[in-house]
Chain A
Amino acid sequence: MSAQPLISLRGIGKRFGAHQALRDIDLDVAPGSVLVLIGPSGSGKSTLIRCINGLVRPDEGSLTVAGKAVDIHKESAWQALRTEIGMVFQDYALFPHLSVLRNMTLTPQRRRKLPRAQAEEQARALLAKVGLAHKAEDYPSALSGGQQQRVAIVRALAMQPKAILFDEPTSALDPETITGVLDVMRDLAREGTTMVVVTHEMGFAREVADRVVFMADGQIVEQGPPGTFFAAPQHERTRAFLSNIRSFGAADHA
């Protein structure tokens, strides 16, 4: 881990009404590293990852990105931050009324002020990288789930973010299309993209993650490099969770 983390959370807390969804979270993400977040359903993974770009606003704590503190109570601060941190969702969330190309050029043109031609050139290059150059003019409804998710990933990349957040990017996909998406993510990791990934793909975690974080009940229970994390989990809850996943096995495609 490098001395200066790209993303740094300290004492993050969030409650929904009476329910404390996150409690005193400290987390660092080193630049160029892949952090995988796992945990049982309802443990707060989505909430935590959304606290990094303000889709969920933390009630308390501090967030530092690239050395700059983010004013967590100011909407404009979050809006500025979101141009630097991309996000990929479980349901792809492509804009259905825009072509694939337009999905990818919209925000670079609006937020990064790229001229149209340049934005399109960049978009086509990114699409070619994920094997979808021929789909540029199509509308999302003409693409398979896996193709849509790959578009969603390069759409996030088109903003040239410092980091990308993934919230269960393969959970909605057919098993045969999952591989294509994971391959893309693996390539990104190899290129040194900073990523925070919520996933149930333990194979991917083991192979790609620099660090695995296990959450339960809104708290971080245990974290470590995948080798030691999977080989020798320290906490009882971690062990229970991992054995549960293994016994189902279906989610493991590695």
Chain B
Amino acid sequence: MEFDLAYLANQWPALMRGLWLTIQVSALSIVMSVTVGLCGAAIRVLQVPVVDKIVVGYVEFIRNTPLLAQLFFIFYGLPGLGLKLSLFWSGVLSLTLWAGAYQIENIRGGLETVGKGLREAAFSLGLSPWRFFRLIAAPMAVRVGLPSMLNTSISLLKNSSYLQAIGLAELTFVAIDRISMDFRTVEMFAAICVIYLALVLTLSFFASRLEYRLNTPFRT
């Protein structure tokens, strides 16, 4: 069988629909996972009693169990506990929780570079711990943690392909689904690899722009 471009052209609209869903799920999950990361890291660093232990447990749980198991737990397990989420939100929730755990560690790593001196300075100006975190520590930590946060976000984007397993019609689903009917394996997998690559490169590009802007204060 030779590489059939006409076939790909035919399937292009379906692939684009899959891509759009991949982008929606990933973008939403990236934003939400960074939020989870900020909150979790704040709780860890401010040593909020009890809750910080829960955060530690959450991070350990996520990091030491397979994403696919987490996804199935959310999609098939939660309804048994009375929470039935749609395909889309099951996907977003699992990616958010997965990446959120890593973002907590990334941001916490960044926070550790914000020294005691700045903390005392902020407090001595009357800032509350929360405002110190929001106005001083978090923006600084995000700068330091940006490369690792980008890595996690790229992994999230790639891992969104796991959502095909629960039947969410994202990019990988479209490919696998078409392959299972048309058997154009080479064409389809080549196409989605190229698309994923383009997505990751785009994300990296915007992240490096952001990094450049955020680092303006440190360039002299």
Binding site for B on A (CB under 8 A): 53, 55, 79-80, 82-83, 85-87, 89, 91, 93-99, 106-107, 110-111, 139-142, 152, 155-156, 159, 165
Please indicate the chain B residues that have their CB under 8 angstroms from the CB of A106 in the complex.
125, 135
Query: Are A96 and B124 neighbours in the complex by a CB distance under 8 Å?
Result: no
Please indicate the chain B residues that have their CB under 8 angstroms from the CB of A55 in the complex.
120, 123-124
Please indicate the chain B residues that have their CB under 8 angstroms from the CB of A96 in the complex.
140, 217-218
Q: Tell me if B83 counts as interface (CB < 8 A to partner A).
A: no
Convert B199-218 into 0s and 1s, putting 1 for each residue whose CB lies closer than 8 angstroms to a CB of A.
Answer: 00000000000000010111
Please indicate the chain B residues that have their CB under 8 angstroms from the CB of A95 in the complex.
118, 121-122, 136, 140
Q: Tell me if B117 counts as interface (CB < 8 A to partner A).
A: yes
Please indicate the chain A residues that have their CB under 8 angstroms from the CB of B128 in the complex.
79
Bound together, the chains give a CA A219 to CA B38 distance in angstroms of 43
Q: In chain B, what residue has the closest Cβ to A97? A: B217
Please indicate the chain A residues that have their CB under 8 angstroms from the CB of B136 in the complex.
95, 97
Query: Are A87 and B124 neighbours in the complex by a CB distance under 8 Å?
Result: yes
27 interchain pairs, CB-CB under 8 A: A55-B120, A79-B128, A82-B124, A82-B125, A82-B126, A83-B126, A87-B121, A89-B120, A89-B124, A91-B117, A93-B121, A95-B122, A96-B140, A96-B217, A96-B218, A97-B217, A107-B126, A107-B127, A110-B127, A110-B131, A110-B135, A111-B127, A139-B220, A141-B217, A141-B220, A155-B125, A165-B124
Number of interface residues of B (CB under 8 A): 22
Bound together, the chains give a CA A86 to CA B220 distance in angstroms of 29
Binding site for A on B (CB under 8 A): 117-118, 120-128, 131, 135-136, 139-140, 143, 214, 216-218, 220
B120, B126, B135, B139: which contacts A93 (Cβ < 8 A)? B120
Query: Are A139 and B218 neighbours in the complex by a CB distance under 8 Å?
Result: yes
A98, A111, A141: which contacts B126 (Cβ < 8 A)? A111
Please indicate the chain B residues that have their CB under 8 angstroms from the CB of A87 in the complex.
120-121, 124
Query: Are A82 and B123 neighbours in the complex by a CB distance under 8 Å?
Result: yes
Interface SS of chain A: mixed
A80, A89, A139, A155: which contacts B117 (Cβ < 8 A)? A89
Please indicate the chain B residues that have their CB under 8 angstroms from the CB of A98 in the complex.
217
Please indicate the chain A residues that have their CB under 8 angstroms from the CB of B140 in the complex.
95-97
Q: In chain B, what residue has the closest Cβ to A96? A: B217
Known: A95-B118, A95-B121, A96-B140. A139 touches B216 (CB 8 A): yes
> Most B CB atoms within 10 A — which of A53, A96, A159?
A96
Query: Are B143 and A97 neighbours in the complex by a CB distance under 8 Å?
Result: yes
CB distance from B103 to the nearest CB of A (A): 19
Q: In chain B, what residue has the closest Cβ to A86? A: B124
Q: In chain B, what residue has the closest Cβ to A85? A: B124
Bound together, the chains give a CA A107 to CA B122 distance in angstroms of 9
A-B complex: 7 closest residue pairs judged by Cβ atoms: A93-B121, A83-B126, A87-B124, A139-B217, A107-B125, A82-B126, A93-B117
- Give 6 new A-B contacts, CB below 8 A, not counting A96-B217, A159-B125: A82-B124, A86-B125, A87-B121, A93-B120, A95-B118, A97-B143
Bound together, the chains give a CA A142 to CA B216 distance in angstroms of 11
Q: In chain B, what residue has the closest Cβ to A98? A: B217
Bound together, the chains give a CA A83 to CA B131 distance in angstroms of 14
